[in-house]
Structure 1
Amino acid sequence: MHQSRWTEPQRKRFLDVLRKSANVSAAARAVGMSRSSAYQLRRQDPEFRAAWDEALEEALDLLEAELWRRALKGVVRPVFYGGRRCGMIRSYSDQLGMFLLKAHRPERYGALTRGRRELDEEGEEGGTDPRERLLDLLASIHTRLTGEEEGEEPVEGDED
């Protein structure tokens, strides 16, 4: 199983399994080679590395297509009552839908998007510089937490 020479048919089969599974261990097992020898071949052979990357891209494209299908069409699951199957129900995953939206429309659904968009719009349109807004926000937080304006000396007798 740990032979060091990869034959051309082994390489092709490895890439085929990798393309279908995105799983290096499974692909190596399918051709009777070790996972580490696959990575070693990848490091040493630029053509194999490029074919590997392409196979993984294809596998990820297939996964993405399946996730889109599930997000749009749902997944049909059996419903049981009293230990017997009594019907089927189509389930949808809001979490999967949001994940896909965040991945494909980060400008609209990504983390911190609303705040980032507001800062960008104000900065681009001649509004305040985003750094100035951040400093103002920090000063406002400081005032709320301490009850004093930044730069003011505490009044004697204040034990805060």
Structure 2
Amino acid sequence: ELTMIVWRKREDNPWLHAAELCVKEIVPVVSHEETNQVHCGPGPFSMAGPDMMSDMLSGVGFERVRFERFDADICIGRDLDESVEFAMALGPAGEIIRLAGDEGVKRKDKVVSALRETMGQFKRDDGIWAPSSTWIISARNPA
């Protein structure tokens, strides 16, 4: 029996996607091929597609592949500063900044200001909480 959790598509995960959209308005997007900066590989949403995941699991012998959607708010910081630091370090927004190299560094102040505004929409009394969405995938291998 296999059970795993994967992120659903980025649009269903504002906790990462909102920061990505914000940063894209400020920092030029650089292709992985155009830089020697370290990148995140396939990325956190690479297994978001149920059809692709079903085909992949079936292709290696799994059957009765099931997807159960699970949505929950996720804490991305105790305060705005921590959530901005998180967004700039991880995920698609952080990767855009890293891949841009010097251009990302030059725009840091503007990015921080814009991310504070973007992350502010998720502020609660107990921190910065944003919607997230995952698939809980289960499958059985009869072998």
**TM-score w.r.t. length of structure 2:** 0.21
Comparing both structures, which one devotes a greater share of its residues to helix?
A: 1
Q: If you compute each CA radius of gyration, which structure gives the higher value, 1 or 2?
A: 1
If the length of structure 1 is used for normalisation, what is the TM-score?
0.20
